[in-house]
Amino acid sequence: MTSTGHRKTTVHLHGAVLVAAALLLVGCSGPRSIIDPAGPSAQRIAEIWWVMFAGAVVIWAGVVVFILIALLRGENTRELKKPQRLIVGGGLVFPTVVLGALLVWGTLDSKRLTGLGETPSAVVEVTGHQWFWEFRYLDDAGAPLAVSREVLAMPLGRMVEFRITSADVIHSFWIPRLGGKMDAIPGRVNRLRLRADHDGGATPIRGQCAEFCGLAHAHMHFDVRVLDDDAWDAWLRDNAIGAGAAGAAP
């Protein structure tokens, strides 16, 4: 190949890598992206995800190398002296060590994942309905203060405890940019703690029902508004129960 041809190929290659990287990065952000975290729990999930992704790529590359060796050598492949070593090593020892290490590492920091290390400063009752979400904001005594549907407000940088239940069938409450999901089960209250450390910036934060619950399941989503202290207080006042009708909260 001439040097000009070589240069052109290199430029094309660089361009292709840049385009691929840009596409990858664009794919990482989004209102429901688990790898665009806006809180500590989702941050932890994203870290674990990236480590598992990198590990999977390395293992996949190793398998491809083995396949290529087998294909290219064909009948010239030497017979292994002790094939059982490969089976025990690759089939038992390797996965046990890797999965064991992942389990320990994933469990070590579970307080950050579950939010249990931090006392919640707000409590929201979440009720799944076919097909919308209802949020009731409780006061310190546990009485409902305000209510909203399809829009969830959260105080910025403060831990919120969600008490999740359902009025009809099983739903699943999930805000991918803030943390893991939790089932909403009729007659049961499941707790989940999440903290939003920023309002999502240019990309909004959205929640989604993650358990098929009937025909309109896909439309059972909600917006998350992360509010600073003043806006949070104003939100609670504006959405106070009975504020519209009687002019005063109960």
Stretch that binds Cu ion, among 1-9, 72-80, 155-163, 166-174 (CB under 5 A): 166-174
To the nearest 10 degrees (0 to 180), the angle between helices 94-108 and 40-73 is 170
CB nearer Cu ion, residue 159 or residue 220: 220
Nearer to Cu ion, 123 or 184 (CB): 184
Closer by beta carbon to Cu ion, 109 or else 168 = 168
| Residue 37 · residue 177 · CB < 8 Å | yes
50 and 35 Cβ atoms separated by less than 8 Å = yes
Nearer to Cu ion, 99 or 218 (CB): 218
Contact 146/134 with Cβ under 8 angstroms?
A: no
User: Could you tell me the CA-to-CA distances from 1 to 9, 12, 13, 16, 146 in Å, in that order?
Assistant: 10, 15, 16, 20, 72
Output the smallest distance, CB 182 to Cu ion, in A: 13
Site for Cu ion in 87-146 (CB under 5 A): none
Q: Write the interaction track for Cu ion spanning residues 206-235; mark x where CB under 5 A is met and - where it is not.
A: ---x---x---x--x---------------
Nearest Cα neighbor of 153 from 167, 133, 171 is 133
- Rounded CA-CA distance 35/45 in Å is 8
152 binds Cu ion (CB under 5 A): no
Which spans of this chain sit near Cu ion (rule: CB under 5 A)?
Answer: 171, 209, 213, 217, 220
